[in-house]
Structure 1
Amino acid sequence: MSSTQQLFGDYGELSLQANGGMIGPAKFKLPGLDPIKPLTCPNWHDRPGAEDWLPLIKNLCGDFICAPYGAPEMSEALPQNWKQNPGEKITNDNWFHGFAVNNLWDVQIDEGVPTSGQMICHPPTSHPFEQVSRKVSLLPDGPGYQVELNIVARSDIKFPLALHPCFLLPDQPGSLNLEVATAGAGWTYPVSLIDENAPVAINARFDGLNTVPRIDGKKMDLTKLPPDEPFEALVQIGAPEGEVRLVYEKLGFEIIFSYDAQLLPSLVIWISNCGRTEAPFDGKFRTLGIEAVAGAFDLGPHVSTSKENPIAEEGISTFIELSAGEKLTTTSTIRLQAL
């Protein structure tokens, strides 16, 4: 079976990847506009040295899920208030962002229906998940797609979860408006991300995305993207409404990402604007990750399953709990429309 299967519909096409169960590349049509490729797929998997990269990075493309979300071990560099009463490690899952996104899935297009397909991951029998699957369907009434995620627990488990689409970040500074319905206050990343090109203050609070603190003491507006500098940042905000709009004013369209905010009550926003200089990013990579999460950043199960992490202490859930045999189902939608 091919490692990639293709969905086709009246409004565009979408690839389903066996590597990591990723969705993308995607290409959609809107009247009067050139074909739109809304997802980031760098296509660097065959570069020299790629066999040594984490599979998630090697095969990075578009829209994927992280279960469990984040690092398998807790960073000792974390401030003390992020390390209080840590939760337990996920048994037999030592992958960053989880086994599923770093391994192969079975991918099949629904028979006679080229607009929908199934993606299924079967973790090893020692893993606490019995099955992770995604049903992907092109929207019938316009450009975009819907994803139904199902996770079946093999054993009792508490884990952080993220839906992790990576969207187009345009070249022109400030040409993308990021609009989060009833966005709450937020947190900056509690440790240093990279040695350079990371100007956001470390381990700080902010009232809104338009007043995010910088290391130099100034504020910056992360609702107008990209910044006019090489830049790498992760911030997290409460997002109780479950809808994000990415308005590409110069390109003439917007993307609406909607999801279940009762299950995934906050957003981690990853802005990568040519800030990472190591391979494979090479100071050229751009993306806007809009991660709908039940988690405390990507700090992993130890931090996220603690009810004493700073985000959980403010009443925002940072993990999901399943009993053996229990099935979690959640649906998300990505839709494009003209301005």
Structure 2
Amino acid sequence: MTAVNSRALAAEAKAAATAAAVAGSNWRLTWDRGQADVFATGGSLHNLVFRLDNGCAVAPLAEAPWIGDPSVGTDASIPAHLHQLGGEWACVPFGTAMVDPLHHGFGTDNAWHAVEQAADAITLAIDYPEHHPIKSLERRLIGVAGQAAIAIELTVEARTQCILPVGLHPIFRLPEEGRGMRLDPGPFVRGYTFPKVFEPGVSRLRPGAEFTSLDAVPLAGEGVADLSRPPADLREEILQLADVGGCVCIDYPDDGYRARLDWNADDFPSLVIWLSNRGRAAPPWSNSFRGIGIEPVNGFFDDTGLAFHAPADLALGRQFHAGERWTTHYRISASILAAPQHEGPTA
């Protein structure tokens, strides 16, 4: 049995154990090429396992090692989404915004309810507070029959006219020490590092820098880092790519597979890449989390307070109209790693 297959099978076994330990209800999705859990908190996707054409099982998304730890789950000082960090969820608004006190939005830290459910699909919804400019969110997750893929649909209903940053938040796993990874976002116009030091004493990228190639991101001192092959000796970093094409391929050459995220680039024209490689010491992190957020966004990083740092031509959010129902589609998939070239989006 290969190492990647062993890890994926272990993820399957762990899913049942963690399901009972995480606050709120959980639901299980199964189809002929995969399975996943959906947590009520955040309406989030977890424990995603795909079966490839060769029968190998792979688990492309990161999951925090503290999920299910009672000492974390009962700590009210830790935001609910950090209790179960990992997997994938939607952020409305994305990051920190004045209209919503919760980082990544009300829907991230509160329980969703099931609207419709089948073995291979589920529709979830959450109502926002009456004072919020957003009225409700709805998510539909569907295991794609015959494919190692899950299709996701997000619908946002606006209560009042507003401009809000919006984003998606899948976190892919980092390879084990000594194993490789290649990150290919396709062509992009320009990249930006975080305007300030992201994690003081840990982050090494030069704040407020621009770049045009992911393999040459400026460091704070001399030299550059190759973020096309993360973690690139970095521990806690965040950067943003502008005008991306709506597809990212994440190759795990030592494990023999490619993970892929497809989305509508008109809905999310930028991509935030968050690398966390045991870089945060505060609870619940305790220098234990490893993952890479591949986050399509319409906004500038994860705080509207940083907007004055943004380039003049960068979209800072989506304009919603009162009563509007806006729907976007995206997809996470995996395949046997064969061709090294980047392919266009399929979403």
TM-score (normalised: structure 1): 0.87
Equivalent-residue separation in structure 2 for 1:215 and 1:9 (angstroms): 47
Residue in structure 2 matching 1:247, options 224, 245, 251: 251
User: What amino acid maps onto 2:110 in structure 1?
Assistant: N
Equivalent-residue separation in structure 2 for 1:117 and 1:182 (angstroms): 34
Matched residue, 2:20: none
Matched residue, 2:333: 335
Equivalent-residue separation in structure 2 for 1:39 and 1:291 (angstroms): 13
Contact map agreement 1:33 1:252 (CA 8 A) in 2: no
Matched residue, 2:315: 317
Equivalent-residue separation in structure 1 for 2:224 and 2:111 (angstroms): 43
Equivalent-residue separation in structure 2 for 1:320 and 1:133 (angstroms): 17
Matched residue, 2:69: 46
Residue 156 of structure 1: how far off its partner (Å): 1.1
Higher RCO (C-alpha 8 Å, min separation 6): 1
SS at match of 1:94: coil
Matched residue, 1:118: 123
Residue 117 of structure 1: how far off its partner (Å): 0.4
Equivalent-residue separation in structure 1 for 2:225 and 2:321 (angstroms): 43
Aligned length: 312
Equivalent-residue separation in structure 1 for 2:149 and 2:271 (angstroms): 21
Equivalent-residue separation in structure 1 for 2:95 and 2:68 (angstroms): 22
Q: CA RMSD, aligned part only?
A: 1.8
1:69 aligns with 2:69: no
Of all paired residues, the percent bearing the same amino acid is 27
Residue in structure 2 matching 1:103, options 100, 107, 110: 110
Residue in structure 1 matching 2:151, options 140, 146, 154: 146
Residue 109 of structure 1: how far off its partner (Å): 5.1
Q: Please, which runs of 5 or more residues in structure 2 have no aligned partner?
A: 1-22, 338-347
Matched residue, 2:192: 187
Contact map agreement 1:173 1:225 (CA 8 A) in 2: no
CA separation of 1:196 and 1:309: change in aligned 2, threshold 3 A: closer
> Which range moved further: 149-158 or 235-244?
235-244
Equivalent-residue separation in structure 2 for 1:285 and 1:15 (angstroms): 20
SS at match of 2:170: strand
> Which range moved further: 270-279 or 245-254?
270-279
Equivalent-residue separation in structure 1 for 2:310 and 2:115 (angstroms): 42
SS at match of 1:316: coil
Matched residue, 1:257: 261
Q: Please, which runs of 5 or more residues in structure 1 have no aligned partner?
A: 73-88
Equivalent-residue separation in structure 2 for 1:53 and 1:266 (angstroms): 29
Residue 181 of structure 1: how far off its partner (Å): 1.6
Residue 33 of structure 1: how far off its partner (Å): 5.8
**Deviations 1:110-134, CA, capped at 9 Å, x for gaps:** 2xx3111011111122221111011
State the 4+ residue runs in structure 1 displaced beyond 3 angstroms: 31-34
SS at match of 2:82: helix
Matches within 5 A, 1:185-264: 185-228=190-233, 231-264=235-268
SS at match of 1:241: coil
SS at match of 1:236: strand
Contact map agreement 1:5 1:109 (CA 8 A) in 2: no
TM-score (normalised: structure 2): 0.85
1:19 aligns with 2:19: no
Residue 195 of structure 1: how far off its partner (Å): 2.2
Residue 2 of structure 1: how far off its partner (Å): 6.3
Contact map agreement 1:172 1:226 (CA 8 A) in 2: no
SS at match of 2:29: strand
Residue 51 of structure 1: how far off its partner (Å): 2.9
SS at match of 1:100: helix
